[in-house]
Amino acid sequence: METKEAVKLVFTLILCLCDLVRTDTDDDIAYQTGGDDSMKFGQAKAVRYLLYDVNPGEGFNLRRDVYMRVTTLVHELNKEEPWVLVLPPWGRLYHWKSPEFEQIKIPWSTFFDLPSLRQHVPVLEFEEYLKVRGEPVIDEVYYLQSFKGGWTKWEEKMNITECNDRTGFVQDEDGNWHHWFFGYEEVYAKKFACLSYMGHATFIKPFLLKNTTGRCIMLPRAETLLHDHFGDTGYWRARRSMVFAKHLRDIGDEFRWENLDSTDEGDETVLEDWTKMKRKHGDALGGPYVGIHLRRMDYLYAREGNLPSLKGAAKQVKKILKKYKLKKVFVATDAPSEEFEEFQGYFKKSKVYRFIPSKEIKEKYKDGGIAIIDQWIAAHARYFIGSYESTFSFRIQEEREILGFDPETTFNRFCPDDNLDCEGPSKWKIVY
């Protein structure tokens, strides 16, 4: 088969949610390239799948960062042969504590726009993978871990070794391996090993291509993989592709319109196709309100000395309201209702808002969806103030970079009461 014909064969098997149909052979699998014409294959090859997971203790916004690292790897793998990234279902995160419903097996489409993700790299929901594969199997699992004893100098290296700690993987009498696997009890793995690893995400590429033969490879503890180049064009391409699901954006937009006099047209924040959207700093005006992320709860002791009191935070917000001649404040916070009411009470001449989801919205979109709605509303403010070293704040700042806000209105943080001239957050500006 000629090269051009082989490439055409692979690329015409376009992935579509409505057309995922199990066929008679494993090789007849839907596939999308991710929109990069640099992917060339000498002959038609069967699609392979990469699945990953993250340390259970890591939060929602750090997991989004790990996703970007893994997409860098998948993007590079596709330069050699076709790989699809299998998205690990969401569930049981530390900050997701709503007791009235179980939060497991949540697909990525609940939170993100899958067609946008697929314009960067080919992706499948986990349930879609199971449907396409036809059996609940993962061929090979390589549990990523740090080298035992730590390190004295940093160098890229990896090695199959004994497991340092308990992994949660258990082998049955038939030799198959079982794990929680996102709540899917029927899923099993054929092979398991621990892989001590120190390196960037793409450092594992030769290992996957030359030392594995399974159709689906899983990498638990993928936070071990480091960004190849943090903040470069590849990083921002991955980040820009992570467009929030339209149903969540619509809820946030309705709240902005009803409470904050904010619309995309008036705020100059109209969202376009991310592959064509290139906003300059200052293109976005933002809604006539100050958006803040006021982190409380565990941060009160985890970041003690770097957070203001509620009264101190209110004073800092009032200063910005006066400077920009604004009268409204939107608060994204994990504070209990009594703390929010106390904070709200410090504002006599301004209105302070918080998004309170209906029971229906909360049950349908879970705690992760509510967090995204908060981020979306805060990202559209005329001026934003975040919390010290918070990935939640950092994700909002990235969203504002994508929309084209002036960095001076984006990269700001609350200072402790006794140091109002504290150092601001790092300014990771968008690169196209």
End-to-end CA distance of the chain: 37
- 244-409: CATH topology is Rossmann fold (3.40.50)
Q: At what angle do helices 337-345 and 310-324 cross, to 10 degrees?
A: 50
**Which two tokens mark 170?**
């258990």
| Distance from C-alpha of 67 to C-alpha of 53, rounded to nearest angstrom | 9
φ, ψ (nearest 5 deg) of residue 313: -65, -40
> Is residue 289 within 8 Å of residue 407, measured between CB atoms?
no
Angle at 183 between CA 181 and CA 187, to 5 degrees: 50
> Is residue 381 within 8 Å of residue 290, measured between CB atoms?
yes
pTM of the model: 0.88
| Distance from C-alpha of 225 to C-alpha of 73, rounded to nearest angstrom | 10
| Distance from C-alpha of 220 to C-alpha of 139, rounded to nearest angstrom | 14
Q: Hey, which CATH number is domain 3-138+198-233, 2.60.120.40, 3.40.50.300, 3.40.190.10, 3.40.50.11340?
A: 3.40.50.11340
Read off the amino acid at residue 75: H
Residue 58: active-site member: yes
Answer whether 3-138+198-233 and 244-409 agree in fold.
yes
**Which two tokens mark 415?**
């200072």
pLDDT tens digit at each of 432 positions of the chain? 433 343 333 333 434 333 333 333 333 333 444 444 344 444 567 999 999 999 988 888 889 999 999 999 999 999 999 999 999 999 877 667 776 667 889 999 999 999 999 999 999 999 999 999 999 999 999 999 999 887 778 899 999 999 999 999 999 999 999 999 999 999 999 999 999 999 999 999 999 999 999 999 999 999 999 999 999 999 999 999 999 999 999 999 999 999 999 999 999 999 999 999 999 999 999 999 999 999 998 777 677 788 999 999 999 999 999 999 999 999 999 999 999 999 999 999 999 999 999 999 999 999 999 999 999 999 999 999 999 999 999 999 999 999 999 999 999 999 999 999 999 999 999 999
Catalytic one among 58, 80, 268, 342? 58
Give Dmax over CA atoms of the chain in angstroms.
75
Radius of gyration of the chain (CA): 23
| Distance from C-alpha of 298 to C-alpha of 311, rounded to nearest angstrom | 19
Read off the amino acid at residue 266: G
| Distance from C-alpha of 266 to C-alpha of 270, rounded to nearest angstrom | 9
| Distance from C-alpha of 141 to C-alpha of 158, rounded to nearest angstrom | 15
- The residue extents of the domains of the chain are 3-138+198-233, 244-409
| Distance from C-alpha of 340 to C-alpha of 1, rounded to nearest angstrom | 66
| Distance from C-alpha of 101 to C-alpha of 183, rounded to nearest angstrom | 15
